[in-house]
A = this chain, B = another copy of it.
Amino acid sequence: MLITANNPKIKSWLDVPNNSDFPIQNIPFGVFITKDDVITIGTRIGDYAIDLGALQQLNYFEGIELTDDMFMQDTLNDFISDGKKTWRLVRNRISEIFESTNPLLRDNTDHKEIIVCKMKDVEMQLPVLIGDYTDFYSSKEHATNVGKMFRDAENPLLDNWLHIPVGYHGRSSSIIPSGIPIHRPMGQMLPNGETTPVFGASRSIDFELEMGFITTDVNIMGENIPVHQAEDYIFGMVLLNDWSARDIQKWEYIPLGPFLAKNFATSISPWIVTMDALEPFRTKGPKQNPNPLPYLQQNGKHTFDINLEVIIKPENGEATLVSNSNFKYLYWSMSQQLAHHTSNGCRVNSGDLMGSGTISGPTPSNYGSMLELSWGGKNPIVLKDGTERKFINDNDTVIIKGYCKKNEVRIGFGEVANKLLPPFVRK
């Protein structure tokens, strides 16, 4: 089936600002609350939020097999369960409806009033009910930097890293959308040079520049998905900030991995950009050496050229770009991650989230965490307002942005932006 929605020549009858992340070629999926306090599934064109529930009720999806209330739900899980063919039919249909020469909705003022909202009037929600959240560790540069800092500068990569897309389970209950502020966590830490731990507010709150992908129902328990089929089960991608408390992490993580250092907050951008929309930006990943085991081997273009930026905005100061990276730097592809994840029969469901791990690149300006940017706090970075940062300060907002660009078409993710508040105090 053709992805007609990707036609770069199409324009929408809705106004799309220059350099918008959301031209008519994007058509991401999300969930929002309208100004009438109705929760609905929607998409976005320019600075307009489109109510897909209303669009369905008014019969604009006629001819596509959908349950009656498919878009009148508060999560995308059921739609995602319907599979790739349905996703593509719906995305193509939305493209037709909003294409500049199509008068159907364009000239129906009553319908437009019901269907088209302004982004500033809606409140974005988490797009899916996330049953399980897995976070990988797939940037060779990031794993190398961490290894240099904490283990062996000469031999920074652990033995398994080049053979396994290393990953661990995160906590679904702490995943929040962009815009929700978080508290600096309290926790147990071992101060440098001490032998007895203390309990207090973390002093080294970090971001991790990541992206995440959302799956459809992949398998039944016990079955695996081969690497060459894995992409069919990926619905789309979001930006992800894997907030981390480095001092808590350092003390707790041996031998079972990060726990309270991570599960106080993970934030994601609210619009899921589909793999279909990202198709034109497909590219080759880094050469893998040694060759992975057969169940992880793949040829061709299995990653995507997605520019990434991290910005720190102090409470009353100017925003500063502190990192720019690219999704394509990752060593392990999403299909390798998913094939590995199901290689033991682990069940993966619709709405599950898989994080990439911190996406660092080859040069220091590409590093995806303060840990790496300030090299463990040794080299503070200076913001535009003249203040220094080893880690994130109270009332700083961390903003991650991401976009693809090719032949004048820009497909973006918007942003995930969250403010760090001081620790919670019980009243």
Interface string of A55-74 (1 = CB under 8 A from B): 00000000000000000000
Cβ contact of A173, chosen from B168, B344, B352, cutoff 8 A: B352
- B347–A174 CB distance below 8 A: yes
Q: Shortest beta-carbon distance, A331 to chain B, in Å?
A: 15
Nearest B residue to A173 by beta-carbon distance? B347
Point out the residues of chain B lying under 8 angstroms from A254, CB to CB.
158, 160, 255
Whole-angstrom CA separation of A260 from B163 in the bound complex? 14
Report how far A166 CA is from B261 CA in the complex, Å.
12
Q: Give the CA-CA distance A295 to B187 in the complex, in Å.
A: 10
CB neighbours of A352 from chain B (8 A): 173
| A167 near B132: Cβ-Cβ < 8 Å | no
Among B245, B258, B295, B344, which residue has its beta carbon within 8 angstroms of that of A248? B344
Contact partner, A343, options B260, B295, B345, B347, Cβ 8 Å: B260
* A252 at interface by CB-CB < 8 Å: yes
CA of A248 to CA of B295, assembled, Å: 15
Chain B residue at minimum C-beta to C-beta distance from A195: B159
Asked if A338 lies at the interface with its beta carbon under 8 angstroms from chain B, I say no
* Stretch from A5-13, A34-42, A220-228, A298-306 contacting the other chain: A220-228
The proximity string for A residues 168-198 relative to B, scoring 1 for CB distances below 8 Å and 0 otherwise, is: 1111111010000011011110100001111
Task: With CB as the reference atom, state the residue of chain B lying closest to A137.
Answer: B256
Q: Is the CB of A186 within 8 A of B259?
A: no
- Chain B residue at minimum C-beta to C-beta distance from A163: B197
Question: Distance (Å) between the CB of A20 and the closest chain B CB?
Answer: 32
Query: When chains A and B are docked, how far (Å) is the Cα of A185 from the Cα of B173?
Result: 28
Q: Which residues of B contact A159 (CB under 8 A)?
A: 190, 195
For A131, the chain B residues whose CB sits under 8 A away are 131, 172-173
The answer, yes or no, to whether A1 is at the interface (CB within 8 Å) is no
Which of B251, B294, B341, B346 contacts A160, CB < 8 Å? B251
CA–CA, A258 and B256, complex, Å? 6
Would B171 and A132 count as touching, CB distance under 8 A?
A: yes
Inter-chain contact B222/A169, CB cutoff 8 Å = no
Is chain A's interface secondary structure helix, strand, loop, or mixed overall? loop
C-alpha spacing A254/B152, complex, angstroms: 14
Taking the closest CB of chain B, its distance from the CB of A166, in whole angstroms, is 6
| Contact present for A186 and B224 (CB under 8 Å) | yes
* CB nearest neighbor in B for A130: B131
**Is B256 a contact partner of A174 (Cβ separation < 8 A)?**
no
> A160 and B245 in contact (CB under 8 A), knowing A137-B256, A169-B171, A264-B344?
no
Is there a chain B Cβ closer than 8 Å to A265's Cβ? yes
Is there an interface contact between B132 and A168, defined as CB atoms closer than 8 Å?
A: no
A404 close to chain B: CB less than 8 A: no
Q: Is there contact, CB below 8 Å, between B348 and A256? A: no
**Is A174 within 8 A of B346, CB to CB?**
yes
Which B residue sits closest to A181, measured CB to CB?
B222
Closest CB-CB distance, A395 to chain B, in whole Å? 15
Give chain B nearest CB distance to A77 CB in angstroms: 13
Q: Within 8 Å of chain B (Cβ to Cβ): is A2?
A: no
Contact with B along A263-285 (1 / 0, CB 8 A): 11100000000000000000000
What B residues does A167 contact at CB under 8 A? 256, 259
A-B contacts, 8 listed (Cβ < 8 Å): A164-B252, A168-B256, A169-B169, A173-B221, A222-B424, A224-B426, A257-B257, A260-B341
Given contacts A160-B254, A173-B349, 14 further A-B contacts (CB under 8 A): A131-B173, A132-B173, A166-B252, A168-B257, A169-B171, A173-B347, A185-B344, A186-B344, A221-B265, A245-B344, A253-B257, A260-B346, A263-B346, A345-B424
